[in-house]
Structure formats: C-alpha cells, structure tokens
Amino acid sequence: MDVTTATKPAVTAHDPRQRGRGLHPGRKKTMAAMLAPSIILLVALNAYPLFYAANQSLRDGGIAGPGELVGLENYSTALQDPAFWQAVRFTLLFTVLSVFVAWVVGMGLALVLRRDFPGRSAFKVLLLLPWVVPVVVSTTSWNFLVATPSSPIPTLLRALGFGDVQILANAGSAMAIVIIFKIWGTFPFMMMMMSSALQAVDGSVEEASRLDGASRWQRVRHIILPITAKPIYISWVLASIFTINDFPSVYLLTGGGPTGSTSTLVVFAYRLVFQDFRTGYGVAVAFLITAALIAISIYFFRRIYRAPVNV
C-alpha cells in the first residue's frame, strides 16, 4: 500500500473546504441570479446613507449645515479627547463583563435545565422574562429600585447601617448597576443559545466519561465545552455587538452619568450629535465604533472557523 495514500486524511462531506465545489456551473449562475436582486436592494438601501455619513465625518458640520471639509480632523480629535477614551474604557468594561458573566450564568442555567424536574417549563419561561420585557419597562423598574434615596434598595441599605446611599450619583455604584442590569437582560439569550447547543452533546459520551471517573467539571471542560465551541463563539460575537450598540439600557438608566462615568461610545456619539450638535465629530465616533465591531467580528469568526466540527 502506498504510504502517501494511507496517511492522507479523508475528505468528508462535512469538510467546509468542499462546500460549493460540487455545484454545476449552470447551477451556480442560477443561484447567483436569484441572489442578485436581494444583494442589489441591500446595496441600494445602505450605500447612500453610508456614503453620506462618511462625508459628514469628514466635515465640521452641526445644526446649521454640513460645514466645511476638514478631512480626518474629527478622527484625530476623537483620539485626543479624554472623554472619548473614558467612553472607550467603560464600553470595554461594560461589554466584557456583561457578555462573559451573562454567558456563565446562561450556560449554568442551560446545564440545570437539561435535567427533568417538576415545573421546569414554567421556570424556563420565568427566566426569559428579563429578555422579553421591553427595555423601557425594565429601566423604569430599575430606576424605581435605585434612583433616589427613598427608593427600596437605598432605603434597605440605610436600614442596614450603610448611611445615605445615592447609587446613581456615585460613579462606581452607577457603573455596577448598569453592568448588572445588562447581565440581567442578556443571560436569557445566552441560556437559549447554550440550551440549543447542548442538544449536540451525546449523553452516552458523558455517561461513559462519568463511569471512567471524570468529575462534573472535567465533563464540562473536556466534553461539553469543546463540542459546543462554535455556538459559544457565535453567542459571544452576537452578544458583543448587541452590548456595544446598546443605547437605551444605558441612556434610560443613567443618561451616561454621573460625569460621563457610564457613557458608552454609542451614548457619547448620540450626545455629540443631538445635544452638542457636533455632527461631524459624532459621526466620526460612530465610524470608529463600526471599525471596532468589524474587528471583533473577524476575530470571533476566525475562532468559529477553527473550532472542531461536530460530526
């Protein structure tokens, strides 16, 4: 037997490198013709706003008009603006903590919900409420709980001897509340994503590893996490995009205050455009956000592509 032939890895139908290679040329043209109207429509709907916004970012426009062409000055101003970097730092903190903690909570609940117990369906529905309830209702409820010294949580803290606590007036506590609120609203999404991903885990493999003496943590680390790697990366990239672009959660809860401590990049760009009327600068910040989202997406999609294929 030829050694080269024997050692050459087999190519299966599941190999992503083979996708699309078996299509007949005529079929490829038919598929391209069917996709063309949708692609043209998407380009037509997005091209003009995109080019218009790009032009705005290169001008010193405001409420009076587009202003004069200033080139990359708005981008340079952003990179030298302490307020911009303060928004960058909080956006990173807000995104990383919210996504990771929400994923940990969601994965834990998904593992619990794999087991059959009385009231599981009702419990699962209740866990979805933070995600289902409109964000305006949620932020109003949380404001009622923490916004003023007479709110329930400050009242409870005062009764426990912590003094007159003004949660949203303090930078540290306001940041903590915003992050906790985002985790509370994101973990149901993570739970649903992980519950779906866990369907791919063969129970017989887990049972065999358990009989071999593997602990519960070892089964999670060496069996469940590798098998569900692709859905995990997908949930992370989606949750990161949602969190970075999340305007209402932050703005309705704290307005970006106090003193900009909870201002994300989206809130910062909004205030520049609609409150300070610095349109060019605000749109330039929005384009920097877009560049960051593209970089995050590319990183995670590379991880998704390199993750093992479940067969």
Per-residue H/E/C for 268-295: HHHHHHHCCCCHHHHHHHHHHHHHHHHH
For every residue of 70-97, DSSP letters joined together read: -TTHHHHHHHT-HHHHHHHHHHHHHHHH
Model pTM greater than 0.85? no
Q: In percent, how much of the chain has pLDDT > 90?
A: 41
Specify the CATH superfamily of domain 76-306: MetI-like (1.10.3720.10)
Reply yes or no on whether the pLDDT at 172 is more than 80. yes
Q: What is the pLDDT of residues 221-272, one digit of tens each?
A: 888 888 888 999 999 999 999 999 999 999 999 999 888 899 999 999 999 9
Confidence band of 305 (pLDDT split at 50, 70, 90): confident
Q: Map out the domains of the chain as residue ranges.
A: 76-306
Confidence band of 161 (pLDDT split at 50, 70, 90): confident
Q: In percent, how much of the chain has pLDDT > 70?
A: 90
In angstroms, rounded to a whole number, what is the distance separating the alpha carbons of residues 284 and 72? Answer: 9
Confidence band of 15 (pLDDT split at 50, 70, 90): low
Backbone angles phi, psi at 70, to 5 degrees: -125, 5
Residue 288 confidence (pLDDT):
93
Reply yes or no on whether the pLDDT at 68 is more than 70. yes
Residue 98 confidence (pLDDT):
96
In angstroms, rounded to a whole number, what is the distance separating the alpha carbons of residues 185 and 151? Answer: 21
Reply yes or no on whether the pLDDT at 183 is more than 60. yes
Per-residue pLDDT averaged across 61-88, rounded?
89
Reply yes or no on whether the pLDDT at 1 is more than 60. no
Reply yes or no on whether the pLDDT at 12 is more than 80. no
